[in-house]
Structure 1
Amino acid sequence: MTSRTLYLFGSAAPPVFDVAEVIADAQERGFDVCLGLTPTAARWLGDRLGRLAELTGHPVRSEYKLPGEPDVWPKADGIVFAPATFNTVNAWALGLTRDFVVGVVAEGIGKGIPTVTMPCVNAAYVQHRQFERSVGELRDMGVEVLYGEGGFAPNQPGRGEPKEFPWGLALDAAERIVRPVP
């Protein structure tokens, strides 16, 4: 069976430190994984980037390529963006594509690439009205947002448990939204 290509994107939230295990789980589910990170997440994982590239078989990306450079990843069959921070969710919904991964998912909406995201935000951030607006905008554009019941539930500031981040829900959604390869 030919693998389906999954772009796995992450922002700088503590669950991103578990991304190697998530990659392995996605590969066991039959996905060829390409890892993309926000610049801050890439800095957090700096000493692990080489190992993560070996694990996926693709370069880890956190920056746009230069004009004329070839693509180094196969085309995506689906995208999972988790953890997605407050900043990432809002930037994506507003179309602010300074970061490579936000640019890819913003364009992915127009390309019809099945996409799921799971925010990782605390209860103080979600009090800002823009967050709920952004979640609604992404859902209206066809992004499956795993937030609230059946997804990520915000914790009190400083009380998050990164190991409890429900990564399995994101990969279950990816299996559901990405068409099987014949």
Structure 2
Amino acid sequence: MTAQPFLYVVVCAAGIAGDAHKLITAAQEQGWGVGVVATPQGLGFLDTEAVEAQTGYPIRSAWRRPGDARPLPSADAIAVAPATFNTINKWAAGIADTLALGILCEAYGMDIPTVVLPYVNAAMAAHPAYGRSLEQLRGMGVMIGSYEPHRPKAGGGADRFRWEEALELLEGKFD
């Protein structure tokens, strides 16, 4: 690539979503341009003003109308972080009922390198659909982070969530 590579950070509604700025900062330090796409519920977990000031782009959460300009450059890579149980299962099933899921489903057909950093609790991760969905995504070439599910009702393992792992998984994809 000759121009600055562009990363979409897809943010889902999880307790740690407000820390997405950590991934944005790390990506920008590595030379990425960054745009954020939030699930409709994930949008409420973000400091919209701060994220838009940091990236220089509006956060996308809804479909644009025909004829509207594209507010973000095309993605060279996508990082879904944090990724919820709901988003992972819908994505693997090919359900594109939100902008974020539409982008993720389309990314497969466009061969865009995609990373997912799941953030789920152990009770949700025990559901058979979750394991099947991760296997489906792996089979599609999606790179999956190493976060181990946290205890239910315990507030999550934010201290163990490695935002930078998204960038580590993408290393070497653009050489």
Please, what TM-score do these two structures have when normalized by structure 1?
Answer: 0.90
* Distance in 2 of aligned mates of 1:156 and 1:62: 29
Which residue pairs with 1:65 in the alignment? 64
* Distance in 2 of aligned mates of 1:126 and 1:91: 14
Which residue pairs with 1:10 in the alignment? 11
* Distance in 2 of aligned mates of 1:106 and 1:172: 22
Give the CA RMSD over aligned residues: 1.3
1:40 has 2:41 as partner: yes
Please state whether the residue corresponding to 2:69 is helix, strand or coil.
coil
Unaligned runs of 5+ in 2: none
1:105 has 2:100 as partner: no
Aligned equivalent of 2:163, options 164, 167, 177:
167
Letter in 1 for 2:22: E
Unaligned runs of 5+ in 1: none
Q: What number of residue pairs does the alignment pair up?
A: 173
* Distance in 2 of aligned mates of 1:18 and 1:175: 22
1:24 has 2:25 as partner: yes
- In terms of fraction of residues, the more helix-rich structure is 1
Contact 1:15 1:163 in 2 (8 A): no
Contact 1:8 1:36 in 2 (8 A): yes
Contact 2:38 2:61 in 1 (8 A): yes
Percent identity over paired residues? 37
Please state whether the residue corresponding to 2:136 is helix, strand or coil.
helix
* Distance in 2 of aligned mates of 1:152 and 1:2: 32
Which residue pairs with 2:75 in the alignment? 76
Which residue pairs with 2:139 in the alignment? 140
Please state whether the residue corresponding to 1:79 is helix, strand or coil.
strand
